Amino acid sequence: MSCAVAVSGSPVFSPSRVSLLCKSASSPETLALIGSPSTLTSSPSSSLSSPSSFRLRCLQKQASGFRACKIDACVVDPDPPLTSLASSSSSSSTVLKRKRPARIDIPSSSLSFATAAKVPEGPTEVEIETSRFSVFCKKGRREAMEDRHVALVDLQGDAKQAFFGVFDGHGGSRAAEFASENLDKNIMEEVMKRGDGGVVAAVRKGYLTTDSKFLKEDVRGGTCCVTALIRDGDIVVSNAGDCRAVLSKGGVAEALTVDHRPSREDEKARIESLGGYVDCCRGVWRLQGTLAVSRGLGDSHLKKWVIPEPETKIIRLKPECEFLILASDGLWDKVSNQEAVDMVRPLFTNFGGSPSLLTACKKLVDLSATRGSTDDISVMIIPLRSFI
């Protein structure tokens, strides 16, 4: 059945009538619903109580027009969703009005593109390869790489002397950068003063001096350190923090440093004796609930417990000493000491230095990353036979 509705208030229809015409496709009859917005009745003798009643009439189509016949009376609600009924207290007549839709405020926007966020400066990868060492550094998920390194060969014009270091910064890269630029100078200055018999004391003094000078910079942040001084056939390895040095001795991994973490029994006892505390947060032991290392340079806000004093070990270089790996905890948290040596050694075919040195560094970094490391990763490999 097809229907047509004429709404009161439309400009093409009378405001005093509302009509509903329904025509069935299967019948020649047409239903007409005719009503007045005031008082309508279905017959002269009966009236509907509602002022919005309508009279329903059946019109049978004939050749000469329409024949009207009364069917019944019904009540139809003339208040569709888009109209409202307004009435006056002094008049019984009702006028249907169309409600104006609410105004939509569309904010104006500029056609110009927004300025892109500033990308932090600094490299995402660093790679260096020489015949004396190779290093590869890769940024993790931090905004900028906080690792730094230093490699100095032919110290004082002696091909048998060198200084290497890897620095893992936290809270920014300033401390790691400062250490990479100053620690070697401070250590060598003390070595020259003390002579061969005071190398361990010279390294210690160099660490303390570097820390003291950095604190005067009034910059937040700190750094872990691992350094190797090769001199007179000895290798002097020192660390403060969780950077690590691993020696390959005939294919067997030998850790030359021990990580300084708050979970270490002696470190925990030292911290607690100074009024600090160590707790486990999400599986990581932290000093004062924040820092995951107990030694390092910088960290002025935790200086009472985070000390810069290194632990130092001296190894006499022998023919079985093949290569030394210096790396940040981004590697050692995911790769064991022996795994690292086993991966590097097959690529270490030419101990005088070959392209496989850098390849070995990259393989170690990639291995740690595939195992889920999100930290900055720095790996340095130093062939030792050229220093014997």
Tell me if 359 sits within 8 A of 210, measured CB to CB: no
Kindly report the number of other CB atoms within 10 A of residue 229's CB atom: 26
Q: Which of 68, 71, 97 is nearest to 84 (CA)?
A: 97
Enumerate domains of the chain plus CATH numbers.
2-81 (no CATH), 125-258+310-387 (3.60.40.10)
pLDDT at 308: 96
pLDDT at 71: 42
Tell me if 71 sits within 8 A of 89, measured CB to CB: no
At 4, the pLDDT band (50, 70, 90 cuts) reads very low
The alpha helices in the chain, defined as continuous H runs, are: 174-194, 199-215, 265-273, 329-332, 337-344, 356-370
**pLDDT tens-digit map of 139-174:** 999 888 999 999 999 998 999 999 999 999 999 999
Query: Model pTM?
Result: 0.69
The alpha helices in 195-256, defined as continuous H runs, are: 199-215
- Rounded to the nearest 5 degrees, what angle is found at the Cα of 21, between the Cα atoms of 20 and 27? 145
**pLDDT tens-digit map of 95-114:** 555 666 666 666 554 444 44
Amino acid type, 293: V
pLDDT for residue 56 is more than 70: no
Classify burial at 300, counting beta carbons within 10 Å of its beta carbon; exposed 0-12, middle 13-18, buried 19 or more: middle
At 67, the pLDDT band (50, 70, 90 cuts) reads very low
pLDDT at 104: 62
Q: What is the mean pLDDT of the chain?
A: 78
Tell me if 240 sits within 8 A of 224, measured CB to CB: yes
User: Could you tell me which residues come within 8 angstroms of residue 317 by beta carbon, excluding any fewer than 6 positions away?
Assistant: 230, 233, 234, 235, 384, 387, 388
186 against 115, higher pLDDT: 186
